[in-house]
Amino acid sequence: MATQSPGLAVDLVTFCSRLLEEQEVSPRARTLALVVADLLPSTAVNVYLLTNLNDHQVWVPRARVGDASVAEASIPANSGILGSLLREKTPLLFTANSLAREDYAHLNIRRTLKSLAYLPLQREGELIGAIELVSFQAELPEASLTSLLSMCEIAAAALASALAYEEERNSSLTSITRITQLYDLEKVFSSTLEMDQLLPIIGSKFREVLECQGINIWLIQPDESLLLMHKSGSDPTVAEGLVQRPGEGVAGDVSDSGEPVLISSSDDDRLIKRNQTVGKPAIFSLMAAGLIDKGALVGVVEALNKNDGTPFHDDDAFALTSLTDTAAGALHNASLLMAERKVEILEGLVKTSGEITSTLDLDRVLQAVVNGPATVILYERAALAMEQRGRLQLKAISGVTQIDPADPQVQRLDSLLQWASISKEPILIRQHGDQIDSDREETRAKFRQYFADTGMRAWHAVPLADEEGRVGILSFESSDPDFLTDAHLEMIKILASQATVALRNASLYKEVPFIDVLHPLLQKKRRFMALEKHRRAALLVAAALAVLFLLAFPLPLRVTGDATVAPAHSSKVGAEIEGVVERVNVREGDSVQKGTVLASLEDWDYRSALAAAQAKYATAVSQMDRALAANDGTEAGIQRVQADYWGAEVNRARERLDKTLLRSPIAGIVATPHVENLTGRKLKFGDTFAEIVDNSQALVDVAIDDNDVALMHAGERGAIKLDGFPTRTYRGEVAIVSPRSHLRGDERVFYARVRVPNDDGSLRAGMEGRGKISTGWRPAGMVLFRRPAMWIWGKLWSWLGW
């Protein structure tokens, strides 16, 4: 269908078809310019749209055909002839003679202008754009302009719909971008629970998203004050470690009210007061929001000065609030981890203190001091040197039972302890990169060589002294320069005080036994010499026979210890997804096979997700088939990608649905009490649901004292007597002797693991009794007096020190 006029013949159907082929503004404006240029040969065509830019209306060129280009990216709405069109909103036609060059200064033309015309693009009476016609050969007739008015109406509607489409698309992209940023931030914030690592990450990410000069992170303290824990960027008005209370500043006000604060003017009294600390207007705009997790205030975040120099606005405040919601949970979790570590440090201190104060054995005290703190302090070596006869002697090294004075590492450590003993204050030397924390060049040189030789990067020494004088010195070292936190240093300080008392008492007690031992021996000697000669001879013969018996007569040497039955194989069944237990299929004591379904979780969400994915997959396959049938390769390729994507989603949905079934990983017996009562309980990812124990063969751990561990070897025979079966003896072989000791009560033991057949299932994990392990035949003296002899030998070696 075409509209015929005296001026031009315009095919509106073809024009509409070409416009509908495009969706965006620029292609549609380009199509409009091309169609008009085809109708008016030797005429340049420019298409403008009326737009608000920084609260001002401007003409923005969106398409150009011909030899007339626009000099600027935007033209003020009221300037020149375009300003006349804005006011009159009717077609305008001008001849070259009636125009001055200033009237169309926005155009770059190099040909002689004959006439200039403007056609308004109006949508429901509102001007949205204009068509500019620049003729170079002949003047444009008014009839031609009239013929183009119907086309202008269609073009205005098409451009208006394209503008709406682009606005909606850009809004969607903005929302997707913000959601993506928040998702990425949540993953980044959840990547660590270390507060020292988390705070710089939060600060840098907030600055990046908000595009501001500085971020301050304040955390709430037990007394409800705020402590500035981290600064990212520039803010000369505050320093890290500053404490602020409600009413003392913006952060304090936010913590008191819980409401966000937006200050967009540098004349605000709060900013004037804050800038007074530096004597210049360092902050011209500020906003702050609380970090709130589950209704509890964790801290406050301040954002300072946008990078572009403009003040913050409501959208920025909304973005900050959204970011604080993401960061609050991560900070709360990190604070919980710090609290748990403090509790662990206190528990470790109590445990170590109990060990060193529960005995007067000097060796045990020394080992407890250097080894006990390892449960909460990640050091690689601890050492203790004691003052003896005016000279400092290295007495204990963590993980070492016998100190070799000829070892070069021991010699280096001993030399360093001798040097540190001169100081009456604790010493902490750390190396970060090539920098060593010390004020004296001699100290830096000493430790640079020591760290290079040993591979350590931190060394901490604490003097041990009381009112009577110096007791010794205690040191800790690690390859991590930051292995000691403030809590660790406080723990070491308390430990040093307790160790000083314990070492002083043990040293005094060690000197007393000489009198108690020598006096009874002298009395026995006098009584022996007072006997008659034949009686002395008889006693000597009896003693010789006893010695001969002890040296020559063989007896079986057995090592005994407490025995505990441990399962040979056990496995915990955990939830791989979050869900509520819908049904439990087993009870405690039930025998199950590998793969048996123990319980199932509520799966309607996962079934729904699977059904949705299958439906979308079927739709994508159907559209792909339809495109292939229509020989549309491009659309078919697009739908093929969609089908592959939804096919993968179907497989993932099936996997998640299958994970709602909790299966036994091994064959065995259900060992979890009252497992049937777990119906209705919500399990999180990784929560343990039940434990399966395989009792087909049992391992019995026999506790062996460290004095007997040298006699133990794999393959030796063992006999087990359990409290639950007092008339029955279980026999087996030693499978392995534990390579390291374990703390049991106040003493350390090694475990000889005896493999015992358990065909009838009578042995169950946790049963206790006694175990005997045969180590062969030995002389009677060794069997009867081995332990006392070892104790005496150890004491003599300790006293005489050869």
Q: C-alpha angle 727/733/736, rounded to 5°?
A: 130
Q: Examine the domain organization and report whether 377 and 461 are in the same domain.
A: yes
At 3, the pLDDT band (50, 70, 90 cuts) reads very low
Condensed to tens digits (0 to 9), the pLDDT of residues 455-490 reads: 899 999 999 888 888 889 999 999 988 888 777 788
Residue 171's pLDDT is 64
Query: Distance between CA 364 and CA 356 in Å, rounded?
Result: 7
Does residue 777 fall inside a structural domain?
yes
Does the pLDDT of residue 185 top 70, yes or no?
no
Tokens of 555: 């007896």
For residues 370 and 463, state if they share a domain.
yes
Give the model's pLDDT for residue 487: 75
77-132 pLDDT per residue, tens: 888 888 888 888 888 888 888 888 888 888 888 888 888 899 898 888 888 899 98
Q: Residues near 434 by Cβ (< 8 Å), separated by ≥ 6?
A: none
What is the Cβ-side half-sphere exposure of residue 512, based on CA atoms within 13 angstroms? Answer: 8
Location of structure tokens 């440090």: 345
Angstrom distance (rounded) from CA 115 to CA 145: 12
Say if residue 7's pLDDT is above 70.
Answer: no
Report the CATH number that the domain containing residue 733 is assigned in CATH: 2.40.30.170
When mean pLDDT is compared across 6-20, 273-287, 444-458, 602-616, the lowest value belongs to 6-20
Mean pLDDT of the chain: 81
> Within a domain: residue 690?
no
Question: What per-residue confidence (pLDDT) applies to 801?
Answer: 56
Tell me the residue range of the domain where 49 lies.
3-169
90 and 197, same domain (yes or no): no
Tell whether 134 is covered by a domain.
yes
Structure tokens at 516: 């108690």
Give me the percent of the chain exceeding a pLDDT of 90: 3
How confident is the model over 197-253, as pLDDT tens digits? 778 888 887 888 778 888 898 888 878 888 888 888 888 888 888 888 887 888 888
One domain for residues 540 and 589: no
Distance CA 317, CA 112 (A): 55
| Residue 35 CA: distances (Å) to CA of 24, 94, 108, 385, 494 | 17, 22, 22, 97, 89
Q: Is pLDDT larger for residue 802 or for residue 534?
A: 534
Q: What is the dihedral of CA 136, 141, 146, 147, to 10 degrees?
A: -70
Strand partners, 429: 459
- pLDDT of 800 > 50? The answer is yes
Domain boundary among 635, 661, 683: 683
Judge contact between 283 and 305, C-beta under 8 A. Answer: yes
Q: Same structural domain for residues 312 and 165? A: no
Within-domain flag for 448: yes
178 found inside a domain: no
pLDDT digits (tens, 9 = 90+) for 329-378: 777 776 766 666 666 667 766 777 777 777 777 888 888 888 888 877 88
Is 112 found in the same domain as 215? Answer: no
* Weakest-pLDDT range from 177-186, 311-320, 495-504, 670-679: 177-186
Between CA 456 and CA 438 the distance in angstroms is 16
What confidence tier does 5 reach under pLDDT thresholds 50, 70, 90? very low
Task: Give mean pLDDT, residues 706-713.
Answer: 76
Compute the average pLDDT of residues 671-676. Answer: 83
Please tell me what DSSP assigns to residue 372. G
| Pair (710, 661) in one structural domain | no
Q: Is the pLDDT of residue 2 over 60?
A: no
Is the pLDDT score of 518 beyond 60? no
Tokens of residue 170, six digits: 């850009």
Total domains in the fold of the chain: 6
Q: Does the pTM exceed 0.75?
A: no
- CATH value at residue 140: 3.30.450.40
**Closest Cα partner for 143 from 3, 2, 6?**
6
Same domain, 309 and 370: no
Closest CA to 581 of 557, 597, 567: 597
Instruction: State pLDDT tens for residues 392-426.
Output: 888 889 888 888 888 888 888 888 888 888 888 89
pLDDT at 316: 80
* Confidence band of 6 (pLDDT split at 50, 70, 90): very low
The upper half-sphere exposure of residue 326, i.e. CA atoms within 13 Å in the direction of its Cβ, equals 27
- The amino acid occupying position 46 is N
Whether residue 689 lies inside any domain: the answer is: no
- Does 174 map to a domain? no
Torsion of CA 127, 128, 130, 131, to 10 degrees: -130
Q: Are residues 582 and 661 in the same domain?
A: yes
More confident residue, 346 or 498: 498
Residues 585 and 483 occupy one common structural domain: no
Rounded-to-integer distance, Cα 448 and Cα 265, Å: 53
Domain boundary (282, 309, 338) is at 338
Residue % of the chain over a pLDDT of 70 = 91
Residues 666 and 777 in one domain: no
For residues 597 and 581, the answer to whether their CB atoms sit within 8 Å is: no
- Predicted local distance difference test score (pLDDT) of residue 476: 92
**Considering 306, 338, 370, which residue would you say is the last residue of a domain?**
338
> Positive or negative CA dihedral for 72, 76, 79, 84?
positive
Range name among 409-423, 519-533, 684-698 with the lowest pLDDT average: 519-533
pLDDT at position 515 is 43
* pLDDT for 522: 58
496/374 same-domain check: yes
pLDDT tens profile 715-751: 888 888 888 888 888 888 888 888 888 877 778 888 8
Contacts 24+ apart (CB under 8 A), 151-155: 151/10, 151/12, 151/15, 151/32, 151/35, 151/36, 152/119, 152/120, 152/121, 152/122, 153/122, 154/12, 154/15, 154/16, 154/19, 155/19, 155/28, 155/32, 155/121, 155/131
Check residue 8 and give its pLDDT.
Answer: 66
Q: Is residue 783 part of a domain?
A: yes
pLDDT class of 383 with cuts at 50, 70, 90:
very high
